[in-house]
Chains A and B, each alone.
Chain A
């Protein structure tokens, strides 16, 4: 066993904090895109994952994902963090590794919320993402990163193109279909309440993503530097292409478009980050803009109320990234495998298998969980609650309260 390396540990401590920041950042990104009456509820859908999903990870998710087990699932050896101490896992303390991976699980669950905002009741939502993190996220993380069957097959997923993004997008698709469209969807204009929030969220996501991709090397080494550089340059490529598409189509570059482009670029480079050269990284980012851009336009004309376009950004972007990893990977950069363009066409096939397996398992698992919860509680808020807004009806708070007509209720003596 390798001893603990102080440099690696220092970087991973920082990277863990960076990735944790991404979940509040996602709250701002999503919160800006909904209507003012649902702003708090939408942001809470991200923030609450920090609690429930994080604790579920500590209790059971981690052991299912990362303890030695079968090809399909870990064992119960590390349940309740038993045996997860200061001894080395790789070259960093085991508890740091478990904490780092917790931040991934949390944001993946929170990503799904974009498809069901403005209409799902909060209690069933919390139950859903908590169960989902254990039943869907942990097994897929085990397949790809925990020594499961996709790892053995040789699937390349540096930081979570399949495990995080395609997985969340498949769940988002099921969520949007099971919940159904918002009552106002395609009937009245639903426009973002605070675009600056969305830009702030996109910026903080990018910042946190350096920990997400750079930290996935699990060490302070060349692989981390490559992933870091790709995380910087790929979204730049996406932003340029997206802006040009915007200009061509509407003669204007939009701010919501720019924020979306940044996220799409980050998603696309995630599986490829430590496997492709920086120039290939820019190609991945630039190319990824096109299918996601048109997926958003297409989706808005359908009855599929994937409200904040989780599928177009994370599903399409993640799939493009995962497949291009199989094309553009270079052994001279990653020391592991070449892609199709560098003499290893088989890699592209393996990538496709990983993408398909993730989609199938996530769709089925998500559907079962949602239907199970629907047996004991209604998933959707009533028409009237939806009309008033989820902030007041679910949380008893308003995002932009002026206090007019608010009468103080004297607190009861405790």
Chain B
């Protein structure tokens, strides 16, 4: 099992979610974050106060997947999240020691396999 953590542009979120859905990657968590990865600052002016905004709004996706799903997940995010300009974000793939599903107490692989897929026999 791996934990895929992706930092992407907020305006690309819907496209990435769509791509993940098509890749049959289901359970995920997102959060709004701010960060800086080398893109140029935006300049904003409020009356006499001019500021350079160095931290940009980003979205962080956290997706726990079983090993066969790592590549499809990464590919979907790479394809849908890219604009080709600095600031598109990063994907981190991290090893996972244990996974538990809180509802049932299931562990590891069965814990990261979505319920809908079990029921459909996939």
Contacts and interface: CB of A to CB of B under 8 A. Distances in A.
Interface stretch (A2-10, A98-106, A405-413): A405-413
Given A387-B9, A396-B44, A407 B14 contact: no
Interface in B34-55: 34, 36, 41-46, 48-55
A251 interface: no
Interface string A370-414: 000000000000001001110010001110010111111101000
Contacts, number: 50
B83 interface: yes
Given A396-B44, A397-B44, A398-B44, A384 B83 contact: yes
A403 B52 CA distance: 10
A397 B42 CA distance: 10
B24 interface: no
A248 interface: no
Nearest to A188: B14
B45 A397 contact: yes
A28 B94 CA distance: 46
A397 B45 CA distance: 6
B11 A407 contact: no
A249 interface: no
B49 A407 contact: no
B40 to A, nearest CB: 13
B100 to A, nearest CB: 32
A407 B52 contact: yes
Contact of B14 (A187, A389, A409): A187
Nearest to A389: B11
Interface string A197-234: 00000000000000000000000000000000000000
Given A184-B14, A188-B14, A397-B46, A407 B9 contact: no
B45 A396 contact: yes
Contact of A409 (B34, B36, B51): B51
Contacts of A388: 11
Given A384-B83, A406-B44, A411 B9 contact: no
B11 A387 contact: yes
Interface string A177-206: 000000010011000000000000000000
Contacts of B83: 384
Nearest to B45: A396
Contacts of A396: 42-45
Contacts of A407: 41, 51-54
B44 A401 contact: yes
B38 to A, nearest CB: 14
B71 to A, nearest CB: 26
Given A396-B43, A407-B54, 4 more contacts: A392-B44, A396-B44, A405-B56, A409-B50
